[in-house]
């Protein structure tokens, strides 16, 4: 048996889409400069905010429509990802570097599956919040891929992307019907938070 991990970087995002109420939308769309501060995990303060406009969640918990966390696919950047053979404890034995863009993934016969929330029916007739926390660092799988044959078969890999406001975020990888999620060692570069209603789709 052989063991593999996949490594990505350096740019990624944790991004969410979640529904909010009409009073929340009406208040915060007029006070959007304070939205990020109010929803910050370290400063969730509703003092002075009308009761029906208060949001009693951290920004990343407003995610009943979508939640993605992982490296960002950007065909304009010549970024690589690595297929790493390891021992059973995750210690690296060897690595192969590959370009992390759609053209190369298709050439490698990796199955790329994209779910776009840019024009999704789930957003119709709703008031909703979109939050991005842009990260820099190293992303990898939450557990090793175990392969019983000699090597990892690229045509059995599936890369699952969630697209939110044009950002294609690698959120999950599948291999032979097993699911592997993305984790990493990253630091926050910047964040963006905004409010929308269904008119945003028109």
Half-sphere exposure of residue 193: CA atoms within 13 angstroms, side-chain side: 22
pLDDT band at 34 (very low <50, low <70, confident <90, very high): confident
pLDDT in tens, 96-105: 999 999 999 9
Check: CB of residue 152 under 8 Å from CB of residue 158.
no
| Each residue's pLDDT tens digit, 35-53 | 888 887 555 567 788 999 9
pTM for the full predicted model? 0.88
Domain ranges of the chain: 2-201
Q: How far apart are CA 184 and CA 128, in angstroms?
A: 28
């Amino acid at each position: 048996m052989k063991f593999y991990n996949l490594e990505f970087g350096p740019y990624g995002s944790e991004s969410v889409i979640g529904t909010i109420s009409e009073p929340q939308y009406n208040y915060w769309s007029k006070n959007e400069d304070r939205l990020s501060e109010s929803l910050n995990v370290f400063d969730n303060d509703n003092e002075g905010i009308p009761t029906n406009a208060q949001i009693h969640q951290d920004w990343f918990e407003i995610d009943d429509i979508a939640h993605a966390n992982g490296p960002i696919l950007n065909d304009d950047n010549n970024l690589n990802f690595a297929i790493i053979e390891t021992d059973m404890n995750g210690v690296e034995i060897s690595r192969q570097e590959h370009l992390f863009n759609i053209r190369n993934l298709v050439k490698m016969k990796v199955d790329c599956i994209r779910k776009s929330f840019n024009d999704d029916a789930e957003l119709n007739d709703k008031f909703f919040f979109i939050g991005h926390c842009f990260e820099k660092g190293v992303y990898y799988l939450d557990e090793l891929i175990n392969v019983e044959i000699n090597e990892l078969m690229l045509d059995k890999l599936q890369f699952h992307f969630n697209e939110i406001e044009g950002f294609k975020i690698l959120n999950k990888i599948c291999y032979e019907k097993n699911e592997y999620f993305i984790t990493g060692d990253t630091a926050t570069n910047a964040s963006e938070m905004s409010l929308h209603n269904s008119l945003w789709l028109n």
